[in-house]
Amino acid sequence: MSALMGKAVVNFGPGIPWEMREYPVPSPKPGAMVLKISMASICGSDVHAYLGEFGGPKGVRQKPSILGHEFVGRVHELGEGVCTDTVGRRLEVGDRVLWSPSMLCGRCPSCLREVVPCPNRKEHQGTTSDDWPHFKGAFAEYYYLNPGQWVYKVPDVVPDSAAVYVDCAAATVAYALTKVDFPMGSWGLIQGAGGLGLCAAPMMKDRGARVIVVDKRAERLELARAFGADHTIDGTEYPTPESRIERVRELTKGVGPEVVLEVVAGAPEVVPEGLEMLAIGGTYLTVGLVGPYPVTIEMGPFINKGLRLIGSAQFKAATMADVLDLMERTIDKYPWDKVISHTFRLEDTEEAIKQAAAGKVVRAAVVMD
C-alpha cells in the first residue's frame, strides 16, 4: 500500500451534508490502474442521486461513497500487464485518459447480441469509500480502474473541458443516434440545449442532417447555433406546444423532422409535442427522461403516421472512441470546451450539484488542484 494520501468528497445519502475525507492511494493489482483526476463533470444522474430520486431513505446516514462518473485525468500508476487502452493505443504513466464506469458481464443474452445496456453490468456506485480501494467515484483526486473497465487515451488537441463529458453525456447521445437513420436532406430536432443537446447537434450534422434545437434559454440557443444548429426555437417566443409545432412545420416546409431527440430530463410534457412534430414514418428518440415520468400518448396519430418510439441508455465500448474522433476532427469547428459553463473546486462539489439541480449551469465541472 502506498503512503500517498488523496482527497475525496464523500456522500452519505440524500439530505446528509457531504464531507471531505482523505484515503490512502492504493497500488494497482495486475490488470488495473490508478488514475489521477484532473476534472470531473456533473451528470444528470449525479443530481438524481443527490436528490434521492433513485430510491432509498432520505435523511438517513448511510455508508460513505464517492459519487461522479464523468472525468478526465492522467495515468498515475499502471498495474502489471497493462500497456494499452481499450482500443489498443499504448499507455504510459502521465498520459491523459478518460474512462467508463461500466463493466459488462459478456455472457448474458444482451451482451451476446451486442445490445446495450447489460443487465448484469457492474458499476462503481454503491461501493463504500471506507473499503479498499477507496477511490471508486469521480469527485476525488484519484480513481482506481478495475481490470476490464474501458479506458481511452485522449488526443492532444482535445482539452480536458471537452474530454471530461465524453463519458457519459456525449457517448450516451452518440450511441442513441446510431439507432436512427438520416436520409439525404432530412431534419433532426433536438428538445433541449443542455449538455446532451449541444453534443447532439454536431453529431446530427456529421450524419448529414439539418438541425433544429428547441429550448427556453436564449444563451443556450446561441451556443446551439455555434454547435451547428441550422435553426433554433426559443420557447419564450413560442410559448405553447401548438406554436412550436407550427414553427417546426414552417421550417421543414410542412414535412416535419425525421428524428426528434428528447434530452430534457424532468419535462415529460415534451413527448406528445415531439411526436406531433415528427414527419410521417419518423422516429422519436428519448434519452433524458430517466425518472418516474408518466406520459400520455394519443395512439391514433402515432399508429396512422407509422411512428417509432425508441429509448436509449448507455453506450458500447467503441462509442467513446468514436466521440473522441469526432471531437478531434472538429475541434476548430465547434466549441466543445464551452459545454462546461461553470467550474468549482473539489471542496465545493456539493454546491456544484445544487447549481446543476437548479438549472443554473449548462454543465458544471469540478477542477482538482
Question: Residue 238 class from Cβ within 10 Å (0-12 exposed, 13-18 middle, 19+ buried)?
Answer: middle
Evaluate whether 359 touches 49 at the Cβ level (below 8 Å). Answer: no
Same domain, residue pair 199 and 286 = yes
**Among 311, 338, 359, which residue terminates a domain?**
311
Same domain, residue pair 9 and 151 = yes
Same domain, residue pair 32 and 119 = yes
Question: Which pLDDT tens digit goes with each residue over 318-357?
Answer: 899 999 999 999 999 999 999 999 999 999 999 999 999 9
Residue 53 pLDDT: 82
As a whole number, mean pLDDT of residues 129-157 equals 95
Q: What is the pTM of this model?
A: 0.93
Between CA 41 and CA 98 the distance in angstroms is 12
What φ, ψ does residue 343 adopt, rounded to 5°?
-120, 150
Same domain, residue pair 137 and 267 = no
Percentage of residues in the chain having pLDDT higher than 90: 81
Residue 84 pLDDT: 97
Residue 123 pLDDT: 56
Q: How many domains does the chain have?
A: 2
State the sign of the Cα–Cα–Cα–Cα dihedral 120, 125, 126, 128. positive
Q: How confident is the model at residue 2 (pLDDT cuts 50, 70, 90)?
A: low
- Residue 133: asked if its preceding bond is cis (omega within 30°), the reply is yes
Closest CA to 175 of 203, 146, 209, 205: 203
**Higher per-residue pLDDT: 316 or 337:** 337
Does residue 173 sit within a domain? Answer: no
C-alpha cell at 75: 495515468
Same domain, residue pair 254 and 305 = yes
C-alpha cell at 86: 481499450
Is residue 300's pLDDT more than 50?
yes
Same domain, residue pair 262 and 148 = no
Between CA 62 and CA 19 the distance in angstroms is 13
Question: Which pLDDT tens digit goes with each residue over 203-258?
Answer: 999 999 999 999 999 999 999 999 999 999 999 999 999 999 999 999 999 999 99
Does residue 174 sit within a domain? Answer: no
As a whole number, mean pLDDT of residues 94-112 equals 87
Evaluate whether 166 touches 328 at the Cβ level (below 8 Å). Answer: no
Is residue 48's pLDDT more than 90?
no
Question: Residue 340 class from Cβ within 10 Å (0-12 exposed, 13-18 middle, 19+ buried)?
Answer: buried
Is residue 19's pLDDT more than 70?
yes
**Among 296, 311, 326, which residue terminates a domain?**
311
Residue 1 pLDDT: 46
Same domain, residue pair 52 and 131 = yes
Same domain, residue pair 238 and 259 = yes
CATH number of the domain encompassing residue 34 = 3.90.180.10
State the average pLDDT for the chain: 94
Between CA 116 and CA 121 the distance in angstroms is 10
Closest CA to 351 of 360, 339, 362: 360
Helices (H), 192-298: 195-206, 218-226, 241-251, 270-277
Residue 226 pLDDT: 99
